[in-house]
Amino acid sequence: MRWYSLYAEARLDILDFVANSTIHEKGSIARYACVSREWQDWFEIFTFKRVEISPSDIMPFITAFLNLRRRKYLQCIGQIQALAQKPPTLYGNYPLLKQQEEENNYAFTIILRGLFIELFQWRVEDCHHEGIELEIIADCESHWQKTAGEYRELNSPSGTGHGNFYNSLSSELQIFHAPPYHGHQVLHDGELDFHFWLKPDVPFGGELGPKVDVISGLSILRRTVRHFDPEAIAHIISLLPRLRALRWEVRPHAHWEAEHKFHHHLRSLLFALPPAMDKVKIQQQPTSKPLNSPGPSEYLPGLGPRLILSCPYLTNIYMDISVDVAKFFGMRHRLQNIQYACIRTNQALLDELPNTSNQLFGWIGKALA
């Protein structure tokens, strides 16, 4: 039986089944798409639903989406950071680390700028009706992160190693002494790569690139192994006027000073959020720290109230960082649109709170006042 002799409904069912069963096999999708024009048009919906681009892929990306029909299918862009993984030489100390930080920031800037310059030319009406999500991916470990991992494995506290370079904390990030080729220098992980925050390499008062209207979501998820400066994310958000959703799974910070600095800078991020935002999720991955490590102040950053004031149309809030819950729910008159709230606080633990009635927030606020 010939393909076109089948009913249109049957052809669509077959195409839908084949596309969904090979959605993660790009090669298979490409081969199927060559069968006929009808197959090509159908498979493009799945092929261009999500694309990942690295610095070398920017020109093929531009070429592929010169076809305006494909822009309608695009829902997510995974922007992969090509960051330095090894230093120029193993012989050196802090200036070498500083040099790698500068190289990373430059690489971070170049690919984002190239992407923004291209997307600046796209029209909202040509793209997916819900906009495009931008996921920033920095999933390659640096030389220093790899070195730390190797020493944790070789000198684990399990008894297989002598443990000279190992701290027995059950944390993902550890304090350890560097080997002789580092000049017997004791390098805290905060002095390695773990406190280096990626940020745009732009002059003070400058901009990373033009404003982009087609981006509606920004994500930094668990697969990313590098830290980002909240002020850098705020700068990126300032160039996304139609942003509605932010998801950030924050890396754990090994040293309390880095944690405090992060919370201070996070305030800048909340100031930069567009008022039209309706979904914010900031989640910090769990980590173990010494019991005597001072925690970030719940009062100085004012994260919960700042978020409510910045984004009056929020419907979904997920704040897995320290928030003053009394102040947060004390602003009950500004929580009219909330449908889902999940926050973490040292004062109490609140889980999912469906908005069955706005009076619920009033009761919580009064109870905590």
DSSP string, 275-341: TT--EEEEEEPP----TTPPPPPSSSS-HHHHHHHH-TT--EEEEEEE--HHHHHHTGGG-TT-SEE
**CA 179, CA 150: separation in Å to the nearest integer?**
11
Which are the contacts of 195, defined by CB distance < 8 A and separation ≥ 6? 189, 227, 253, 254, 255, 258
What count of other Cβ atoms lies within 10 Å of the Cβ of residue 298? 20
Give the containing element (helix H, strand E) for 342: strand 340-344
267 beta partners: none
- Cβ(34)–Cβ(40) under 8 Å? yes
Cβ burial 143-179 (10 Å sphere, 16+ → b, else e): bbbebbeebbeebeeeeeeeeebbbeeebbbbbbbbe
Instruction: Give, for all 369 residues of the chain, the pLDDT tens digit.
Output: 576 676 767 777 776 776 666 555 555 544 554 555 666 676 777 778 889 998 888 888 999 899 898 999 999 999 998 887 765 554 455 556 677 778 888 888 888 999 999 999 999 999 999 999 999 998 887 776 676 666 656 655 444 444 444 444 334 444 444 444 443 343 444 345 556 678 888 877 778 889 999 999 999 998 888 888 898 899 999 999 999 999 998 887 766 777 778 888 888 888 889 998 999 998 887 665 555 666 666 555 567 788 888 888 888 988 887 777 767 777 777 777 888 888 776 654 444 455 544 555 555 555 444
φ/ψ of residue 56, rounded to 5: -80, -10
- Cβ(246)–Cβ(217) under 8 Å? yes
- Cβ(315)–Cβ(338) under 8 Å? yes
User: Model pTM?
Assistant: 0.76
**CA 230, CA 194: separation in Å to the nearest integer?**
15
- Cβ(263)–Cβ(272) under 8 Å? no
DSSP category for residue 142: P
